[in-house]
Amino acid sequence: MEFGILVNEGPYTHQASDTAYLFARTAIEKGHKVPRVFFYHDGVNNSTRLATPPQDDRNVSSRWSKLAEEHAVDLVVCVAAAQRRGINDDVLAPGFRISGLGQLVEMGIQYDRLVTFGD
């Protein structure tokens, strides 16, 4: 099955991004496909490479980048939400790209399921 994933909350304050990551990783391990993850609202803050959490904690953006590299997951950050929050191409972690909301709508149209993680 093909899953589209929508992440609506930022890292660390909320668990949404962690749960979305674990869902995506597990789905892929089970043989499903996660072609794209879309980051919206404060979810765009998951895409910055400037975050430096303590070494004994997980690095949320880095593990998204790793998942993208290993499994060709398209990590899309909403441009309008990103501009509001100071996220641009200069600060993006590897594997992330900035694009429009149409990429989110496409996931709903093309994939078997769209799963939202947020409040």
Partner 1 sequence: MSDMDEMEDGSGIVKKFMFLNRKAPHGTVYALEGLEVVLITAAFDQDVSMVFTDDGIYQLMKGIDTKGIEVKDFSRTYRALEGYDIEKLYVDQASLDARGLTEDDLIVDVTVLSVDEMANLMAEQDVVISF
Q: Report the interface residues with partner 1, using CB under 8 A.
A: 6, 8, 40-41, 80-81, 99-106, 108-110, 114, 116, 118-119
Structure tokens at 5: 């994933």
Sheet of strand 113-117: strand arrangement: 96-99, 74-78, 33-39, 2-7, 113-117
In angstroms, what is the minimal distance from the CB of 62 to partner 1?
26
Report the residue number, 1 or 58, with the smaller CB distance to partner 1.
Answer: 1
In angstroms, what is the minimal distance from the CB of 85 to partner 1?
10
In angstroms, what is the minimal distance from the CB of 100 to partner 1?
4
- List 78, 87, 104, 107, catalytic entry: 78
Handedness of CA 23, 44, 89, 2 (dihedral sign): positive
**Which residues are catalytic, by number?**
78
